Structure 1
């Protein structure tokens, strides 16, 4: 017989199961299938809910997305992008006019007004004067300033030769003044040459700084280039005003001492003589902005 509880075979007539100890009442001679054990289902690990995407609204998100896209494309943060933008803008502005001569246009306009005031062909003279002004360049970039320094040396050399020839015949005070003027012209030519060399050095430093920024992620050269470019453009702006004041005072005092008050009035009507052009001013702004961004902005 078999136990009705565990299914173990027991001898006939057994009252209790020798295997599980349960009563053998109701035992049969057929084996009973052992009850199937229920295996608990494996528990799934806890999964945290995915965070909902944050929503961005307004122009700030557009600017952030654009800056993020640009940063991902170039590998630079906003500090580096601002520095590179300042370097490119400064490089372009360095080839724009740095020195302006407004007295050329003013002097020509004054001459045309005087000529047309007592002439019956005033309209023709004004048209010819306008066409003549179109061929006059009153603003110079740095390469033309360098060529101007060569012209000044040629003028000084010719004047020095003439003064030397004249001094062999007579020793006049005017020749000594002319000799001093020739020395000033040579000095101005040398200053323009040195200024042009410094301008070339700043261009080379900007290019080298941008290359090192891209290749080595090193911005020391670019920061130095910003400082040098801002300094040289600031010197150009200040020197233009200083030289203009000296020219004006010298001309007015010279003609006033000779008793020519009318000429002094003409000089006063056509001033200023030298001014900084927009190229020098924009170069100063962009280079100074790049220098400030390198110290103020963060890369992220």
Structure 2
């Protein structure tokens, strides 16, 4: 019997490595795994729907649900999760000494709808008294000029937002003080170079992130896996098949992290960091699926997405995913 051949575009992760190498194969599927940078995958999937299956920004996916019919159906597989307090940078001369000082400032963002930025705007509003519309936003390329939003974004009228000049970059503007702060998933080049004009808004961001988790129980979700709708509608079974394989690949990655015969990654205290993560966040801290803490995280993100003008209505987590991947047979 022939197997369905699907191309999946995704990053280079330990939690998907077994699918990339073919040691785990989804039932009934021959998977052509394309290892691509996330920005490229997101752009090509959102603009041209080039892949049958792809990693997708959670924000971009929720934004796509405004279309009728929506072009994708997601699986509750979170290829990227990350606390983002460390993603806020400021110019040393901006007068920003604490997160609350961001009110009234000019903040750069590569794209308004980036998942990391949605999370941080929501956290700043909920926990630091900085409503999303209390700052002025400038959007554009961080390290290279000319970046535009990958998807058309309807914005609320209360928002003050404009693109930077076509030949400018957000990193250079941050260093020069043309913008006061920058919220970005990628570390800006002046910070990497040790430029004293650029520093983090949360200097001890790990402590801030641990405090945030202790208070909320949320480990922020960044990316999901999306199946193109035409593929899903023609083969509804692929949702459960892919979900099971991705879950098995993630469990295999856990096991690799706890193999102390030799370090799997170039981190001297990898084992102790893995143990600390499980102590602080729980045994299955990178859990897939819809239940428990994931439901809380998704509900919070969907509220932020709606409050910030990106969703046409407030959605529930249950609306996001293929039911075939959220329900399983009990044996």
TM-score under structure 1 length normalisation: 0.20
Greater helix content: 1
